[in-house]
């Protein structure tokens, strides 16, 4: 999927909702595509600023709901209280182990769990859009250290 391609997808999404594809939204989208891995709003804004193109922080905040709804990014759990995001394309879904001692984050994916989640949704007539699962505890290093 090329960058142009993603832009036109986002453009289409906006168009469908009667919204405009503005230069600011283009800049934000480009910044996101240039970030690999998790990022906070402040990270995103830093990327935008250093790319010489200055736009308002308020605009970044206003754009995030569109990026979520447009399927450009998803929320991911973060060690602190802040909300983190990652671009969806190129980042396969996964869940997290979070060490409460050292802050380490371990990604994992378990197909059986994913299947059961769907089954649970079915049994409740619930139409899932996505999920987040975080297991907190001690990583191997911290567990042995505490012993």
Partner DNA sequence: ATAGCAATTGAGAATCAATCGCAATTGGAG
Partner DNA sequence: CTCCAATTGCGATTGATTCTCAATTGCTAT
Long-range pairs for 40-48: beta carbons < 8 A, 24 or more residues apart: 40/78, 40/82, 40/83, 40/84, 40/85, 41/82, 41/83, 41/85, 44/85
The least CB distance from residue 112 to a second copy, in Å, is 5
Residue with tokens 């979520």: 68
Interface positions, 84-143, toward DNA (CB under 7 A):
none
The item of DNA, Mn ion, a second copy, none sharing an interface with residue 67, based on CB under 5 to 8 Å by kind, is none
> Would you say 103 and 66 are in contact if contact means Cβ atoms under 8 Å apart?
no
Q: Does 110 bind a second copy (CB under 8 A)?
A: yes
The least CB distance from residue 91 to DNA, in Å, is 20
Interface positions, 9-68, toward DNA (CB under 7 A):
11, 14-15, 18-25, 41-42, 54-59, 61-63
Please select the residue that binds a second copy; options are 33, 35, 46, 97, rule is CB under 8 A: 97
Q: Does 4 bind a second copy (CB under 8 A)?
A: no
Q: Does 139 bind a second copy (CB under 8 A)?
A: yes
Nearest Cα to Cα of residue 89 among 3, 11, 12: 3
């Amino acid at each position: 999927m090329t960058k142009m391609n993603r832009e036109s997808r986002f453009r289409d999404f906006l168009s469908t909702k009667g919204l405009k594809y503005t230069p600011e939204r283009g800049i934000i989208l480009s910044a996101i595509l240039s970030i690999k891995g998790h990022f906070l709003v402040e990270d995103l804004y830093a990327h935008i600023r250093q790319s010489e193109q200055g736009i308002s922080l308020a605009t970044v905040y206003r754009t995030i709901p569109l990026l979520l709804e447009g399927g450009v990014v998803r929320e991911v759990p973060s060690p602190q209280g802040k909300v983190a995001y990652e671009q969806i394309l190129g980042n396969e879904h996964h869940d997290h182990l979070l060490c409460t001692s050292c802050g380490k984050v371990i990604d994992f994916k378990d197909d059986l769990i994913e299947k059961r989640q769907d089954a649970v949704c079915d049994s409740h007539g619930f139409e899932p859009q996505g999920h987040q699962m975080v297991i907190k505890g001690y990583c191997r290093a911290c567990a042995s250290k505490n012993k």
